[in-house]
Amino acid sequence: MTIHEKMELMNAKEIKRALDRLASEILEQNGGVEGLILVGIRTGGMHLASRIKKLITKMEGEVPEFGVVDITLYRDDFFTLEQPQVGDTEIEGDITGKRVVLVDDVIYTGRTIRAAMDAIVDFGRPRSIQLAVLIDRGMRELPIHPDYTGRQVTADAKERVEVFLKEEGHDDRVVILTAGK
């Protein structure tokens, strides 16, 4: 079975525009960077969180705190993974009492976000956890919904929404992939 691209959902310019909007909405909702920490989910989410951090810094003239969380050990399917690759979790400072904005590339079932929230609370008790995603493809299995969304898409359960980023050696784009013969 081969995987092929069904369609492009976003190009580099559209991703940039969505991230600009997400950064503005995060600032507006939180009244600036005071007490705010951006935490990207390894791997795609950390790159997007880093970009949002740069945008917020440019807009506000202040650098928000930043972190990266690896959810591998918190996954509910951890014991079914053949060779899990565990990355580092790096969070600047104490998150207790802070407004955490968790950033990921795609939200689908909600299980990744649940795992990320479990990981975050192991580092302290944040005032709140908000969620920013580039793509919301719906079809949740858990009652988790983003506070900030770059774009909502509809994809069949058999299709995969893939975010390609320059930080990983690709051109910035979001596509729907599908299996075929």
State pLDDT tens for residues 69-97: 998 887 665 445 465 565 677 887 889 99
Which of the two residues, 154 and 53, has the higher pLDDT score?
Answer: 53
Q: Three-class SS string for 115-138?
A: HHHHHHHCCCCCCEEEEEEEEECC
- Residue 4 has a pLDDT of 84
Residue 104 has pLDDT above 90, yes or no: yes
- CATH of 10-75+90-159 given 3.40.190.170, 3.50.80.10, 3.40.50.2020, 1.20.120.160: 3.40.50.2020
pTM of the model: 0.92
- Supply the pLDDT for residue 74: 76
pLDDT band at 43 (very low <50, low <70, confident <90, very high): confident
Sketch the domain layout of the chain as residue ranges. 10-75+90-159
| Mean pLDDT to the nearest integer, 13-40 | 98
For the chain, what percent of residues have pLDDT higher than 70?
A: 92
Number of separate helices (H) and strands (E) present in the chain: 3, 9
